[in-house]
């Protein structure tokens, strides 16, 4: 039976509290949303509150409700790791048993030498760094010498930054595509092209022309299963990059959350049946990694304020899903992702009442639920579709 439309929004980095195995990752005590709310003196999230987010963890300013209108629960990560690829893959039905490699001391000499041969010049850097700090440290030297900037982070990423007037974007993309072959034997998840502009005098800044070259998922994801059954999968944000373009009907990139929310409305209007999958990146990229709890909180409030605009555009049989892919607690030492439970909120105009979904054993339970809804196969996860009170519109 063909179903209608599902809008699935992933709030990148919005965790709830540390998982039982968080100590294995150095994340004891992490609790992204509660800590952000505390630093902000409380958050104003009335729309998310009505969906049940305040019933999942104690959030200052967002008390629990007796009868939320949404289905609400917490997802635990089973996969090894805590990066965006692992989180998104598990949400879509793939549990990753072996973590991708990270290089907190920089990449091995052999890999750097191979990259230098492809680039025709020795790269600068080869250090773990943030995207802003790396440009401050090496941007001017790159402009003078033309040597690309190589760096990594707490994730499994091989990042190459270059000024658009020094190394044109298409050439940078070609270089990163070649690097993807080099990093395969090192179990590195992504090569990321990081174009930037500006000058030493005025400062350097990254452009929205980032491009990811990602290891493809090892098995069939929910997205591919939907495509095989002639559903449309429309991706907004970095979704296509995280899935190496697999299982995507069409994709639109975004610059920030505001751009992502705007394009969500545009893409929903164009979607007939299938899945609209959205990643809103600012919580993680602009605030979590930069230890900006106040900015994080304001971004959450902006998203909450926008939600009624989405509700207005949703049809009576549309389903809204809100989740996250990992935590990124801006109050913990360092700038790493954090190993946390993440929220799952489900709502439709056809729902008769909300439901407590409890603590789910895997992110993949959400993918399994959507697979059951659309009637497509998925090998991982346990569906909670029967717990959703959609009887006003559907009979399952």
- What value does the mean pLDDT take over residues 124-148? 94
Residue 175 contacts by C-beta under 8 Å, 6 or more apart in sequence?
118, 119, 148, 160, 167, 193
Q: Helix 293-313 and helix 32-39: axis angle, to 10°?
A: 110
Greater confidence (258 vs 353) lies with: 258
Among candidates 65, 67, 87, which has minimal Cα distance to 78?
Answer: 87
* pLDDT attached to residue 396: 32
Confidence of residue 2 (pLDDT cuts 50, 70, 90): low
Report the C-alpha gap between 295 and 281 in whole angstroms.
13
**Residue 328 and residue 289 in contact, taking contact as beta carbons nearer than 8 Å:** yes
Residue 55's pLDDT is 98
Average pLDDT, the chain: 95
Are the C-beta atoms of 52 and 345 separated by less than 8 Å?
yes
Cβ atoms of 9 and 282 closer than 8 Å: no
Q: How many helices (H) and strands (E) does the chain have?
A: 12, 14
The residue ranking higher by pLDDT, 87 or 4, is 87
* Residue recorded with tokens 């990270």: 102
Exposed/middle/buried for 343, CB within 10 Å: 0-12, 13-18, 19+?
buried
Structure tokens at 299: 């971004």
pLDDT, residue 136, reads 95
Instruction: Please write the tens of the pLDDT for every residue from 6-27.
Output: 999 999 999 999 999 999 999 9
Complete domains list, the chain, with CATH: 5-98+215-387 (3.40.720.10), 109-213 (3.30.70.1250)
Pick from 247, 167, 147: nearest CA to 209? 167
Distance CA 43, CA 36 (A): 8
Nearest to 254 by CA among 5, 1, 10, 6: 10
Question: Does position 395 have pLDDT exceeding 70, yes or no?
Answer: no
Round to whole Å and give the CA distance between 340 and 134: 28
How does pLDDT run across 179-220, given as a tens digit for each residue? 999 999 999 999 999 999 999 999 999 998 999 999 999 999
Q: Which residues pair with 193 in a beta bridge?
A: 160, 211
Structure tokens belonging to residue 154: 């707490």
Residue 60 confidence (pLDDT) above 50: yes
pLDDT attached to residue 276: 98
Contact 4, 271 (CB under 8 A): no
Bridge-based pairing state of the strands 149-152 and 124-128: parallel
pLDDT in tens, 25-40: 999 999 999 999 999 9
3-state secondary structure of 102: coil
Q: What gap in Å lies between CA 189 and CA 158, rounded to an integer?
A: 8
Between CA 166 and CA 211 the distance in angstroms is 17
Per the listing, tokens 């990139």 go with 253
Grouping H, G, I as helix, E, B as strand and the rest as coil, residue 298 is helix
Q: Is the dihedral of CA 59, 61, 62, 67 positive or negative?
A: positive
Tell me how far apart the alpha carbons of residues 221 and 366 are, in angstroms, rounded to a whole number.
12
Residue 305 confidence (pLDDT): 98
Q: What is the pLDDT of residues 238-291, one digit of tens each?
A: 999 999 999 999 999 999 999 999 999 999 999 999 999 999 999 999 999 999
DSSP 62: B
- Assign 226 to helix, strand or coil: helix
Residues 6+ apart with CB under 8 A from 396: 372, 385, 386, 390
Region of residue 106 (phi > 0: left; psi between -120 and 50: alpha; otherwise: beta): left
Q: Residue 261 has what DSSP assignment? A: H
Residue 345 forms beta bridges with which residues?
72, 322
- The pLDDT of 77-97, averaged and rounded, is 95
Closest CA relative to residue 296, chosen from 41, 64, 32, 87: 32
**Pick from 382, 352, 299: which is nearest to 33 by CA?**
299
Closest by CA position to 13, among listed 258, 338, 305, 259: 338
pTM of the model: 0.92
């Amino acid at each position: 039976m063909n179903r209608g439309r599902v809008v699935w929004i992933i709030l990148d980095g919005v965790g709830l509290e540390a998982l039982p195995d968080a100590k294995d990752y150095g994340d004891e005590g992490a609790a992204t949303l509660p800590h952000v709310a505390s630093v902000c003196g409380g958050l104003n999230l009335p729309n998310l509150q009505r969906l049940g987010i305040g019933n999942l963890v104690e959030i200052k300013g967002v008390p629990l409700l007796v009868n939320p209108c949404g289905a609400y629960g917490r997802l635990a990560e089973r996969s090894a790791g805590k990066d965006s690829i692992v989180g998104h893959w598990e949400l879509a039905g793939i549990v990753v048993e072996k973590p991708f490699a990270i290089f907190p001391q920089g990449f091995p000499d052999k890999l750097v030498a191979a990259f230098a041969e492809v680039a025709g010049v020795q790269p600068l850097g080869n250090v773990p760094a943030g995207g802003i700090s790396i440009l401050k440290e090496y941007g001017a030297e790159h402009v003078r010498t033309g040597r690309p900037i190589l760096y990594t982070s707490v994730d499994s990423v091989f990042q190459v930054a270059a000024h658009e007037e020094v190394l044109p974007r298409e050439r940078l993309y070609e270089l990163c595509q070649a690097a993807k072959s080099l990093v395969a034997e090192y179990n590195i998840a992504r090569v990321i092209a990081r174009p930037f502009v500006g000058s030493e005098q005025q400062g350097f800044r990254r452009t929205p022309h980032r491009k990811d070259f990602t290891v493809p998922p090892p098995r069939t994801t929910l997205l591919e299963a939907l495509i095989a059954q002639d559903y449309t999968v429309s991706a907004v944000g970095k979704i296509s990059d995280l899935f190496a373009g697999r299982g995507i009907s069409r994709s639109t990139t975004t610059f920030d959350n505001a751009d992502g929310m705007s394009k969500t409305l545009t893409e929903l209007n164009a979607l007939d049946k299938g899945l609209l999958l959205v990643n809103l990146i600012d919580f993680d990229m602009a605030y979590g990694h930069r230890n900006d709890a106040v900015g994080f909180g304001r971004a959450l409030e902006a998203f909450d304020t926008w939600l009624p605009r989405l509700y207005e555009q949703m049809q009576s049989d549309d389903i809204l899903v809100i989740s996250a892919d990992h935590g990124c607690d801006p109050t913990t030492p360092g700038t790493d992702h954090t190993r946390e439970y993440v929220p799952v909120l489900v709502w439709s105009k056809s729902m008769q009442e909300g439901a407590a979904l409890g603590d789910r054993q895997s992110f993949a339970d959400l993918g399994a639920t959507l697979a059951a809804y659309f009637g497509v196969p998925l090998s991982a996860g346990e569906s909670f579709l029967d717990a959703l009170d959609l009887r006003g519109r559907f009979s399952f």
